[in-house]
Amino acid sequence: MSAKKKVLRSPELISQILDHLSLPICTLQDLTGSMPAEQCGLRASLLAAATCCRAFKEPALDALWRTMDSFEPILNMLPIVNRGVGILQLQDCTPKLWKTVRSYAARIRVFVYHRSLHQSLRLRLLIHASVFNALIARQQLLLPELRVLLIPCYPPEFLQSALYFVSPVLERVETGAAANFLYPFELEVFILTVTCRTDRLRHLSLSANPGNLSFSVLEAFLSPHLVTVTLRNPPKEALTALSSLPNLKDLAIWDAQNTLLGNTTSRGFRALEALFLHADAEFLLHFLNACSGRLRSVGFHITEGDNLQIKNIVDHLAKLHSKSLRCFGVSLYKGVMLKGNITVLFRPLFKIPLAGFHVYCGHNDTLKIPLLDIASKLSFVTYITLFPAASGYMPKFADLHSLAKTHPNLRCLEIALDIQDVLPLFPPTQHELDMLKIHDAPLLATNVRPVALQLDRLFPYLRVLQSQGPDPCRWKEVSDILEIFRLGRRGI
């Protein structure tokens, strides 16, 4: 039997091939606004694959319907009659048609619930009318195999339809920061619905401010099976419940208030590996003292603090988590007041083989931290983020050259860069940096080619160049020139 026939007779191999034609969307971080634009072209390819070969049909349809952000494909299969202006009615569906609709809806594993879903008059009239009435009559869910429900923003009609998405196999629920719940009662009803219908929830992210959400309701969400939890301004009793979760490995808390202090169980969070906290230094230190897990990754957005408090936090991490810690990130806000030799505060980290080191000072205009001096002491890192304050020293190409020499293992660099002094060109290196993200770097048209030449000499294996800030088109030109250089070295 030929290799071609062996592949066509293996649904598993065909599914793996077709998976490359779909963008993996499992969290809100995978989204950029609405569904990524690239998805449109990939959907067309999957549709073509489903119609070109019988062996491809089912795996291609599974990949095509796996992620959705619209009901239109389902509604288009239903016999809907326009009875007049603003009146739409669902006609009686034959058992065969309803079975077909259900078979396609059952393929959906990830649903992105956008506000735009309710901007369609057609859907607005159907959402609580004959379609859902037909579902209720059959005691069926609209998406029976849904695993992931993502809610970037909060539509006014959220409860009127979202309850139909909660399947017994739901594993992840995420709300975006823009999904502000105007009425906490609606969120409470949704939480209770989820907890009643599924016991498989592993990942919970309520990034929106839940308002006056009662802890008794939130506690229903905090099942022992949870692995990931994200909360914003949680009730004061939440930390006590969180600290006792046996499988909690990833915790993020935004806008943590000092009213939470005293509500943590001593030596709790035993399974915790990744921690993100947005709070003042006092809260951070108190939380670390109550954490008994071996942290691998920490990220702190510090709103207030001084030298002693920052030093105590770093000392605590170096003392109790030096064997496990691999990623350290900190963002310093306006309330952080540091004086004197700031490098000394981070010195305990120099003995830890960190893989990632990230410092962001963009929120603090007066803070002057020698970021490059600190980064030069961390020779093991593979991912560095350096974002100085507006009044601080802005790294230049000479500093990139120094980083290339002192950090041979560096693979990803995110940095705010001053590109005014492009020349002279530095000697070529063989550094294997894979990704470079440049922030707040205005680029003149006359500097496009010199910048490309300089980057090609510093990082000849650079695969991804991204820019956040002004002149995105010119930075795209730089990226295109680097791609030409790279293809030329490969003889293409």
Residue type, 142: L
CA distance 242 to 76: 44
Handedness of CA 190, 191, 196, 199 (dihedral sign): positive
Tell me the pLDDT tens digit for each residue of 239-295. Answer: 888 888 889 999 998 888 766 665 555 567 888 999 999 988 888 888 888 887 789
Token reading at 110: 């990830």
Look at the block and give the residue holding tokens 């004959």: 130
CA distance 342 to 346: 7
Look at the block and give the residue holding tokens 């998406």: 143
Nearest to 287 by CA among 275, 304, 271: 275
Q: How far is CA 483 from CA 147, 239, 358, 428, 463, in A?
A: 39, 49, 28, 17, 8
Q: Could you tell me if residue 274 is inside a domain?
A: no
Return contacts of 473-478, CB within 8 angstroms, 24+ apart. 474/443, 474/444, 474/445, 474/448, 475/438, 475/441, 475/443, 477/448, 477/452, 478/443, 478/448, 478/451, 478/452
| CB-count exposure of residue 85 (10 Å: 0-12, 13-18, 19+) | exposed
Q: Could you tell me if residue 46 is inside a domain?
A: yes
What is the extent of the structural domain holding 53?
1-65
Question: What interhelical angle do 448-458 and 397-406 show, nearest 10?
Answer: 10
Phi-psi sector, 271: left (phi>0), alpha (psi -120 to 50), beta: alpha
Token reading at 278: 């947005």
* Residue 163: Cβ within 10 Å count: 16
Q: Could you tell me if residue 41 is inside a domain?
A: yes
Cis peptide before 427 (omega within 30 of 0): no
At 126, phi and psi to the nearest 5?
A: -85, -25
Q: Could you tell me if residue 20 is inside a domain?
A: yes
Q: Could you tell me if residue 368 is inside a domain?
A: no
Look at the block and give the residue holding tokens 């680097």: 482
- The model carries a pTM of 0.79
Nearest to 278 by CA among 331, 334, 315: 331
Q: Could you tell me if residue 401 is inside a domain?
A: no
Tell me the pLDDT tens digit for each residue of 369-408. Answer: 778 888 888 878 899 888 887 666 788 888 888 888 888 8
State the alpha helices, DSSP H only, in 390-447.
397-406
CA distance 381 to 324: 14
CA distance 143 to 107: 8
Q: How far is CA 203 from CA 14, 237, 242, 377, in A?
A: 29, 20, 13, 36
**Strand pairing class (80-84; 87-90):** antiparallel
Token reading at 416: 């705010």
Per-residue pLDDT of the chain (492 residues; tens, 9 = 90+): 677 677 677 777 777 777 777 766 666 666 654 445 556 667 778 888 888 888 888 888 888 888 887 777 877 787 766 655 555 566 677 778 878 888 888 888 888 876 555 444 445 445 445 555 555 555 567 788 888 888 776 554 555 566 666 788 888 888 776 555 555 566 667 777 777 778 888 888 876 555 556 677 677 777 788 899 888 888 777 888 888 888 999 999 888 876 666 555 556 788 899 999 998 888 888 888 888 778 999 999 998 888 889 999 999 998 888 889 999 999 988 888 888 778 888 888 888 889 999 988 877 777 777 788 888 888 788 998 888 876 667 888 888 888 888 888 899 999 888 887 777 888 888 899 999 998 888 888 888 899 999 999 999 989 889 888 788 888 999 999 998 888 887 765
CA distance 75 to 379: 57
Q: Could you tell me if residue 366 is inside a domain?
A: no
State how many domains the chain has.
1
Tell me, rounded to whole angstroms, the distance of Cα 116 from its chain centroid: 21
Q: Could you tell me if residue 247 is inside a domain?
A: no
String of b and e for 298-330 (b: at least 16 CB within 10 Å)? bbbbbbebebebbbbbbebbbebbeeebbbbbb
